[in-house]
Amino acid sequence: MATTLCMISNFDDYADGLRNEVVSEMAERFFGVRRELEDDIEHWQRLVEELRPCLSRLCERAACLHFLLFDDAGVAGFYASLGVSPHPYEELASRAQAACIAAMSVPFGFRLSSRYMRLVETSYDAFQKELDAYLNGVWSDDLERPERKRVSAHLWQIKELAEDINRRVVEVNAETTPSCALRYVRSLDPAEVERRELTGATLTDERCGLDVSLAFARVDFKALDFPEPQWLPPFSMAAGGLARYVRRLAEAHASEVRDLFAAIRRAARKRN
């Protein structure tokens, strides 16, 4: 009899230990998956905030460039020579807070058109560099891990991460719900099963549906209102049509170019 009781006690201890181990592993997986998703969402939000100043700089660079092109027709012709629509870049310029004439200087040159060309080229390359950083990021040394490089936050990275996070949100909300986990844990407790049978409440009465209060929300990339302009090449890599267009623009607006240079010089004197 004593041997039988000892065997029963050992079996109960083994069952309790096995149940605790299963519950521990399940809890680790349940909370681990959710914690990983939470961390990735927070990382995505940090990248979004990191990109906003880059977008502001890009808009200012676009406004500076468009200021040099005189009017809508000048802007449209400039982008037509690059083979792209001007509308995405006009949107960028419209978001700028202020013009940037105070930061400009008139390049040296003997001909009006050559000086204007260099001014536009300098402004365009500054805009293109910021555009590339906004779309593709900039690689730099990782201060925390000197042996590695890191890329700055950029549009395509944030967009791709949003798609990946939303896919995982759907999976976690469907497959790792709190109600389903609780139901499984209760099924491992014989006393709980017996109590429910006595009261007529079976475990199958608890549906493994989505627990709305603890469900993850999808991230909304479109709500960020980040423009998605097309990448543009540096001035030196653009087709010769761009340089010819800028030269023709200078010739057609010779008086405006002189007024522009005069305004830049006045701003420079005030700056100094």
Contacts of 57 (CB under 8 A, 6+ apart): 130
Look at residue 180 in the predicted model and tell me its pLDDT. Answer: 60
In a domain, 184, yes or no: no
Q: Which ranges of the chain would DSSP assign to H, the alpha helix?
A: 2-68, 72-82, 87-94, 112-136, 155-175, 178-187, 190-199, 240-252, 254-271
CA angle 55, 57, 59 (to 5 degrees): 70
In a domain, 54, yes or no: yes
Number of domains in the chain: 1
In a domain, 203, yes or no: no
Look at residue 240 in the predicted model and tell me its pLDDT. Answer: 80
Instruction: List the single range of 91-95, 144-148, 157-161, 250-254 with lowest mean pLDDT.
Output: 144-148
In a domain, 233, yes or no: yes
CB 149 within 8 A of CB 141: yes
Helix (H, G, I), strand (E, B) or coil at 149: strand
- Tell me the C-alpha distance between 155 and 55, whole Å: 10
In a domain, 246, yes or no: yes
Average pLDDT, the chain: 81
Q: Which amino acid is at 249?
A: L
Instruction: List the single range of 69-78, 103-112, 114-123, 156-165 with lowest mean pLDDT.
Output: 103-112
Q: What is the pLDDT of residues 38-53, one digit of tens each?
A: 999 999 999 999 999 9
In a domain, 191, yes or no: no
Q: Which residue range forms the structural domain that includes residue 147?
A: 2-98+105-177+215-271
Q: What is the pLDDT of residues 182-224, one digit of tens each?
A: 555 555 555 554 565 555 554 444 555 546 667 889 999 999 9
Contacts of 134 (CB under 8 A, 6+ apart): 51, 54, 55, 58, 154, 155
The mean pLDDT of 235-247, rounded to a whole number, is 89
Look at residue 167 in the predicted model and tell me its pLDDT. Answer: 96
In a domain, 91, yes or no: yes
